[in-house]
């Protein structure tokens, strides 16, 4: 093959990761550099150039590059998007501020609600009204729209979101408004809700449409700049973006719908965990991805990551649903915790030790980086505890300063709390662990999953350092840490197919469905998906379509997703659909539903291209016959089971071959991450080169005597 290589590149808050894979042999190489916050594309160019040069691969040999970025999320959180106006149905300009009229915390007297991306003075009532059945009650005042757009253009508005009531049933007025904007002020960017998310619920639809156009210019400038950088170094292959739903899309599609990139990096991590889990024979996993800024946790059930159709960005309270801006789009369902290697530790006003969610990021980074950081972080604590080798961070490409780390922990934590530096470091490490374990436990239980039956799959630069304690806290039976864990999210990019999803809202009771209309609705979406993927270079014969519908009991406020039967639907499918609904309902709530009629709300199509066949090959670099031969040195590391520091064997990960076994405590080092294993555990290397840790059996807590 003239272009045998595929590349995955992930920009995180602290590091930018990259993997280069040979499509035929499965051999791979990885790279990792500090993220460049002022221009993230610079870090992508740097790590790509370095990794290709180290492996004597030319950029003209790269067939695909798939990329994930946190640019959209950061732009919304930091309010760095375009100056945006909202056009909505007369009388509804305040709906995005009223929201659901709920309090996400009943007892918080200082409750704050998320501030819309569009302030009130830029929200405009437009004379028009479409009814719920799609008929017109009040005709669109096109003269008013044209006059308003001219004024907005003169005042420096950069983008316009259009969300009219019931436009998901009849998008004509939104499309007319878009045409007027394009004719009157063609430099203005415009998004209409019937394109972005033609789905019931006006508040969420408006919020999503605003978010889409708010970041559109920023995303396009970034992607075009990255395209130019890649072209300048000789890359002429295909460039794709990871979507939050787990599919990938072309740059043009991503520019049109940038809001779909919100969780692209974390989504890739969940896909990587899923792929590795399936290969290792685990259909059920808890994916744990901890980097320098955040940790992401995802439940993988029956060989698939859970998917949600709504997401909140910029939450005022991270764990409080309703405290953020709703984005109603498919996303791999995960929870993000503000705990990473760069999370800052501090003593609060009550004298309690707190860790995160604020982070030192890549610049200046933890104190031990020696780049100007002054606040102690989780990485600094791990260094003091002996979990990290100061001379082997990033494979020796970066040194950590032990004395600076100890000094910062002493000054900011140990001295104020009247404890030793080592005790303070352990407190920082363990609080970070408990924050993440509690979040994982709640996330799993809220979805009806028992974390005690799910092995923990740990990756990310910091994940394997903390995974053992988290698995212990959750009661997980096993811990899995893959080779190359520090850049594992990038593998997810390479395992994702080109895919896009479509939705149409049409509320109708199951017994009253007009099946010809239902089939026409599904056929319309399927044709749209077929065309989009064909335009992206996928052969029509390789495209598949998954069909689903959101159903609920009549009178309920929320729905559950049910797979649709194949082929043309008819009244003969009524009993089958009811049975499928009952089955999904019982799986979620472990009891049958009430004897109430059922209605169908949202009709969905997911169009998907062929899934890439990625099989990573690890070339054996040693002929050792026992794990002890892979020990490169010993160093003191802290384990609470022994009440202090223990001389702990440090294993060279690259010398550990499949079937080798050893016991904890142990430290297993590779260039981009380190695995810490506690006493009493059993370790082995499986045939996929994963480190599999069988957790020690824990005694059940003693019951209180009455």
Share of the chain above pLDDT 90, in %: 47
pLDDT value at 308 more than 90: no
Q: Which pLDDT belongs to residue 703?
A: 43
In this prediction, residues 135-154 reach a mean pLDDT of 96
466 within some domain: no
CATH number at residue 38: 3.30.420.40
Cα distance between residue 675 and residue 652, in whole Å: 11
Q: Which pLDDT belongs to residue 615?
A: 65
CA–chain centroid gap for 457, Å, is: 16
Instruction: Tell me, yes or no, whether 178 and 102 share the same domain.
Output: yes
Q: Which pLDDT belongs to residue 700?
A: 44
Instruction: Tell me, yes or no, whether 99 and 200 share the same domain.
Output: yes
In this prediction, residues 265-287 reach a mean pLDDT of 85
Cα distance between residue 296 and residue 271, in whole Å: 12
CA-nearest of 664, 622, 578 to 586 is 578
437 within some domain: no
CA-nearest of 477, 430, 470, 452 to 297 is 470
534 within some domain: yes
Cis peptide before 327 (omega within 30 of 0): no
Whole-structure pTM over 0.85, yes or no?
no
Instruction: Tell me, yes or no, whether 201 and 126 share the same domain.
Output: yes
pLDDT value at 704 more than 70: no
Instruction: Tell me, yes or no, whether 142 and 120 share the same domain.
Output: yes
Q: Which of 117-121, 256-260, 529-533, 608-612 has the lowest mean pLDDT?
A: 608-612
664 within some domain: yes
End-to-end Cα distance, the chain? 74
pLDDT value at 618 more than 70: no
Whether the Cβ atoms of residue 675 and residue 488 lie closer than 8 Å to each other: no
334 within some domain: no
Instruction: Tell me, yes or no, whether 230 and 148 share the same domain.
Output: no
445 within some domain: no
In this prediction, residues 533-542 reach a mean pLDDT of 87
pLDDT value at 705 more than 50: no
Whether the Cβ atoms of residue 339 and residue 319 lie closer than 8 Å to each other: no
Which residues make Cβ contacts (< 8 Å) with residue 257, sequence separation at least 6?
Answer: 196, 212, 249
Instruction: Tell me, yes or no, whether 48 and 164 share the same domain.
Output: no
Instruction: Tell me, yes or no, whether 87 and 206 share the same domain.
Output: yes
Write out the H or E segment, with its range, that includes residue 432. Answer: helix 421-446
Residue with the bigger pLDDT between 176 and 460: it is: 176
CA-nearest of 120, 87, 70 to 267 is 70
52-103 pLDDT per residue, tens:
998 888 888 898 899 988 788 878 877 889 999 999 999 999 999 998 888 8
Instruction: Decide which of 430, 464, 480 is a domain's last residue.
Output: 430
Tell me which DSSP letter residue 120 carries: G
Residue 227 structure tokens: 């395209």
297 within some domain: no
Instruction: Tell me, yes or no, whether 235 and 123 share the same domain.
Output: no
Confidence of residue 698 (pLDDT cuts 50, 70, 90): low
557 within some domain: yes
Domains of the chain: total: 5
**Domain span at residue 590?**
499-608
CA-nearest of 458, 463, 454 to 300 is 454
Instruction: Tell me, yes or no, whether 208 and 86 share the same domain.
Output: yes
Instruction: Tell me, yes or no, whether 91 and 70 share the same domain.
Output: no
399-457 pLDDT per residue, tens:
889 999 999 999 999 999 999 999 999 999 999 999 889 888 888 887 778 888 899 99
Cα distance between residue 514 and residue 151, in whole Å: 45
CATH number at residue 106: 3.40.50
Instruction: Tell me, yes or no, whether 586 and 600 share the same domain.
Output: yes
Instruction: Tell me, yes or no, whether 89 and 122 share the same domain.
Output: yes
3-state secondary structure 87-116: EEECCCCCHHHHCCCCCCCCCCCCCCCCCC
């Amino acid at each position: 093959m003239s272009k045998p290589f595929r590349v995955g590149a992930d920009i995180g808050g602290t590091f930018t990761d990259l993997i280069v894979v040979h499509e035929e042999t499965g051999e791979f190489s990885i790279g990792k550099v500090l993220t460049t916050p002022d221009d993230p594309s610079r870090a992508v160019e740097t790590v790509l150039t370095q990794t290709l040069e180290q492996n004597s691969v030319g950029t003209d040999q790269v067939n695909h590059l798939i990329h994930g970025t946190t640019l959209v999320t950061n732009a919304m959180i930091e309010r760095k998007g375009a100056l945006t106006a909202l056009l909505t149905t007369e009388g509804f300009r305040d709906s995005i501020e009223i929201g659901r009229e709920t309090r996400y915390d009943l007892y918080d007297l200082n409750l704050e609600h998320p501030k819309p991306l569009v302030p009130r003075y830029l929200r405009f009532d437009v004379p028009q009204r479409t009814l719920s059945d799609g008929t017109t009650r009040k005709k669109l005042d096109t003269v008013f729209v044209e006059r308003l757009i001219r004024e907005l253009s003169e005042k420096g508005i950069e983008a316009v979101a259009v969300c009219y009531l019931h436009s998901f049933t009849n998008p004509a007025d939104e499309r007319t408004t878009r045409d007027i904007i394009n004719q009157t002020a063609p430099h203005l960017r415009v998004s209409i809700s019937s394109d972005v998310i033609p789905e019931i619920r006006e508040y969420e639809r408006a919020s999503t449409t605003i978010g889409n156009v708010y970041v559109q210019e920023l995303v396009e400038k970034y992607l075009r700049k990255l395209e130019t950088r890649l072209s300048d170094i000789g890359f002429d292959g295909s460039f794709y973006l990871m979507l939050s739903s787990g599919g990938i899309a072309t740059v043009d599609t991503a520019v049109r719908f940038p809001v779909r990139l919100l969780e692209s990096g974390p989504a890739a991590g969940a896909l990587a965990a899923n792929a590795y889990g399936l290969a290792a024979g685990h259909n059920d996993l808890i994916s744990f991805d901890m980097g320098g800024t955040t940790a992401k946790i995802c439940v993988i059930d029956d060989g698939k990551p859970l998917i949600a159709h709504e997401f909140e960005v910029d939450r005022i309270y991270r764990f409080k649903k309703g405290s953020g801006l709703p984005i109603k789009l498919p996303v791999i369902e995960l929870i993000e915790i503000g705990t990473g290697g760069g999370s800052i530790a501090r003593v609060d006003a009550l004298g309690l030790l707190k860790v995160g969610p604020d982070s030192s990021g890549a610049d200046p980074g933890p104190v031990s980086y020696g780049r100007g950081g002054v606040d102690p972080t989780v990485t600094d604590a791990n260094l003091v505890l002996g979990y990290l080798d100061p001379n082997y961070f990033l494979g020796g490409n970066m040194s950590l300063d032990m004395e600076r780390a100890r000094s910062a922990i002493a000054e900011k934590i140990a001295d104020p709390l009247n404890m030793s530096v080592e005790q303070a470091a352990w407190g920082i490490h363990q609080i970070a662990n408990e924050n993440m374990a509690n979040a994982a436990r709640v996330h799993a239980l809220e979805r009806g999953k028992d974390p005690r039956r799910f092995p923990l799959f740990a990756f990310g630069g910091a994940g394997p350092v903390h995974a053992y304690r988290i698995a212990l806290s959750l009661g997980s039976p096993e811990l899995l840490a893959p080779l190359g864990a520090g850049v594992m999210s990038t593998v997810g990019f390479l395992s994702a197919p080109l895919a896009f999803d479509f939705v149409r809202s049409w509320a109708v009771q199951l017994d009253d469905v007009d099946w010809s209309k239902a089939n026409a609705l599904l056929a319309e979406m399927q044709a749209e998906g077929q065309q989009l993927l064909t335009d992206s270079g996928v052969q029509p014969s390789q495209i598949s379509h998954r069909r689903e519908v959101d159903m609920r009991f009549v009178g309920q406020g929320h729905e559950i997703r049910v797979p649709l039967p194949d082929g043309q639907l008819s009244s003969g499918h009524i009993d089958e659909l009811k049975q499928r609904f009952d089955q999904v309902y019982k799986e979620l709530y472990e009891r049958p539903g009430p004897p109430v009629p059922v209605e169908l709300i949202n009709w969905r199509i997911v169009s998907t291209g062929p899934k890439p066949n990625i099989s990573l090959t690890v070339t054996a670099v040693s002929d050792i016959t026992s794990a002890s031969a892979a020990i490169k040195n010993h160093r003191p590391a802290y384990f609470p089971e022994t009440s202090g520091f223990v001389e702990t064997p440090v294993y060279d990960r690259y010398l550990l071959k499949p079937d080798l076994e050893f016991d904890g405590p142990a430290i297993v080092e590779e260039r981009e991450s380190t695995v810490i294993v506690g006493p009493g555990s059993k370790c082995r290397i499986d045939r996929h080169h994963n480190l599999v840790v069988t957790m020690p059996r824990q005694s059940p807590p003693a019951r209180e005597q009455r």
